[in-house]
Structures are given as structure tokens and as C-alpha cells.
Amino acid sequence: MATAMKWKDEYLIGIPLIDSEHQQLFEEINKLYMSMKRGVSVKEMEDLLDFVINYAKTHFADEEKIMQQKGYPEYPEQKEQHEKYLSEMQKMQEAFNESVEANINFKDVIERLFPYLCNWWENHILKTDKKLGVFVSQV
């Protein structure tokens, strides 16, 4: 079983709003995972999953606004990555809802989701958002 996501200073990209949102996302994803391990109610888990998804939408909107304001040349690629992530999260949310409706253990869905979240956010921050931070610092 996976362990909690650990925030590291290497995830800082130098844009305070984005760095703060990334940290908040790590905290919320960890809450989702730890709540699953503790065995919270379906409603609590559903609320946490909704929050993680909606917070990511807010974060992506903030990030994309900065990219547009600064004329970031890789904006289309970033936006596409964001859309793919949200599409994958929608699928996971549907799988969660289906497991609840069918009285199947929804923990399995969260256990599959957690490694995806960890890998996606770490890779996205270190490989994609870092470039944005460098670009913004130079304009």
C-alpha cells in the first residue's frame, strides 16, 4: 500500500500562488488517502474526492491565467495535460460512484487512484510546472 505524499522544497516553482496551491493539493490528497485508511463514511470520502477534483480545477484555472498573462509558449500543451488529468479524475469519480452504488468496496478505487495522483502531481510539477516557473522568472 502506498504512503502519504511528502512535500519537498524541490516542488517549489517560484510562483507563490501556484506553490501554495500545490502544497494544498498534497495536503488534500493525503487527507483523501488517510481517510480511506481510517475507514470514513462514503459521504465523507465522496466529499474529499469532490474537493480534490474541484481544487485541481481552480488550481489549473489559476495556472492557465498566469500562462496567458505572461504569454507562456507551452500553454496549449499544459492546458491539454490539465484536461487529460481532469478526464482521468472524472473516470475515477465515476468508478467510485459505481462501486458505492453496487455496494462494492470503494476503498479499492481510492487505492488505485492514490498512486496515480502521487505520480501525476510529482511529474507534472517537476517536469512541466518547473518550466513555467523559470519562464515567469525571466519575463
Q: What is the pLDDT of residues 108-135, one digit of tens each?
A: 778 888 888 999 999 999 999 999 999 9
Q: Domains of the chain: which residue ranges?
A: 16-138
Classify 16-138 by CATH class: mainly alpha
- Look at the pTM and tell me if it is higher than 0.85: yes
Distance CA 91, CA 98 (A): 10
pLDDT in tens, 2-49: 567 889 999 999 999 999 999 999 999 999 888 888 888 888 888 989
Torsion angles phi and psi, residue 14, rounded to 5: 95, 10
Amino acid at position 83, single letter? E
d(CA 28, CA 116) in angstroms, rounded, equals 15
